[in-house]
Amino acid sequence: MSSHLPTFDLGTASAIMAAGRQVADVLCDRWTLLILLSAHAGDTCFSDFRDRWGISNRMLSSRLKALESQGLMVKMVYSRRPIRHSYHLTPKGTALFDVLICMINWEASADGGKSDQLVRIEHLGCSHGAIHPSIHCSACNEPVTASNVDFTINNSAQQELPQWGTAYRRSEPRSSTGPSTHPHPLEIVLSIYGNKWSNEIVRCAFLRVSTFGEIQRHTGISTNILADRLTRLVDAGIFRQESSKSDGRSSNYKLTARGRGLFSIILAMWAWADRWIEERIHAPLRLTHQDCGKTFHVISRCNQCSDILKPSNSRIVLSSLDEAH
């Protein structure tokens, strides 16, 4: 058993898979994440979203409608003649700040800081340029990693969670490939979290599900899609492929150090879901920090001054539309 991964019992593992799906159904779509990212960076107009990412009008309308119906964004009239709308984050959408800064931070560490030129996090009044937050335990303030967290979930709540598969399985997104002509700042993150299946496979890895057959059984993904997704995840440096010790024929897919770094994004997603997704509010995942033994939530701190980062004291900055083209 790898010492790099979190520990939990089997019941909790299935609850974690289900909880992950509830988040994925809302967030794990490439366009949705890009729209949310630019909304956090201050875009409010339909044309800003469209021109920044090169989204077709039809696709953008459908994503904005979904974001509205999920309560993440709200549409407001800012001009009556002609009628014009602007789109704004609700508190539920604003609360995704932690998820997005974990994604930005992970991407910067994965690509050696290149993505800083396209998107960066600034801590207002602290320093000029990009900062790179670290995640900490809210109880003791020490850093949190995949190897020092335990999960629990209460049993009665567990039974209320949806079974694996069902509606989710039918919703493999058709828009999983993005435009190649428009540079986007979170290339590797989007290749994982812009696609429900990749997200699901990565989540399996944190539950120590690592062979092709096991992943297939846990997720119900068809073998050709699974093979394709695993190849991409190996190419992106998230997994390394090892031949299985038991029979030497099948492959094990193990998280690399870069892959284990995705844990911060997963924790931020769960924290958001436990607070904002109806089904999760009554069945939150309880995280215990092994180092201090206490229940905690994750907090992001500035690497320059150690302050806690919030939407009110920091901002996400995207390169301007002109630079991005």
Residues that bind Zn ion (CB under 5 A): 123, 126, 137, 139-140, 289, 292, 302, 304-305
Minimum separation from the CB atom of position 104 to Zn ion (A): 15
Minimum separation from the CB atom of position 258 to Zn ion (A): 24
Minimum separation from the CB atom of position 118 to Zn ion (A): 21
Q: What angle do CA 277, 278, 279 make, to 5 degrees?
A: 95
Minimum separation from the CB atom of position 148 to Zn ion (A): 8
Residues paired with residue 150 on neighbouring β-strands, in sequence order: 7, 288
Q: Which is nearer to Zn ion, 139 or 157 (CB)?
A: 139
Minimum separation from the CB atom of position 291 to Zn ion (A): 5
Q: Which is nearer to Zn ion, 162 or 293 (CB)?
A: 293
Q: Which is nearer to Zn ion, 139 or 225 (CB)?
A: 139
Neighbours of 286 (CB within 10 A): 15
Contact yes or no for 175/30 (Cβ under 8 A)? yes
Residue with tokens 């024929």: 249
Q: Which is nearer to Zn ion, 126 or 234 (CB)?
A: 126
Q: Is the peptide bond before 91 cis (omega within 30 degrees of 0)?
A: no
Contact yes or no for 267/131 (Cβ under 8 A)? no
Q: Which is nearer to Zn ion, 21 or 297 (CB)?
A: 297
Residue with tokens 């320059």: 304
Q: Which is nearer to Zn ion, 140 or 225 (CB)?
A: 140
Minimum separation from the CB atom of position 2 to Zn ion (A): 21
Residues paired with residue 317 on neighbouring β-strands, in sequence order: 120
* CA–CA gap between residue 135 and residue 153 (Å, rounded): 22
Q: What angle do CA 9, 11, 13 make, to 5 degrees?
A: 70
Minimum separation from the CB atom of position 131 to Zn ion (A): 6
* CA–CA gap between residue 49 and residue 56 (Å, rounded): 10
Structure tokens belonging to residue 21: 């799906």
Q: Which is nearer to Zn ion, 95 or 308 (CB)?
A: 308
Contact yes or no for 135/308 (Cβ under 8 A)? no
Residue 247, phi then psi, degrees to nearest 5 = -120, -10
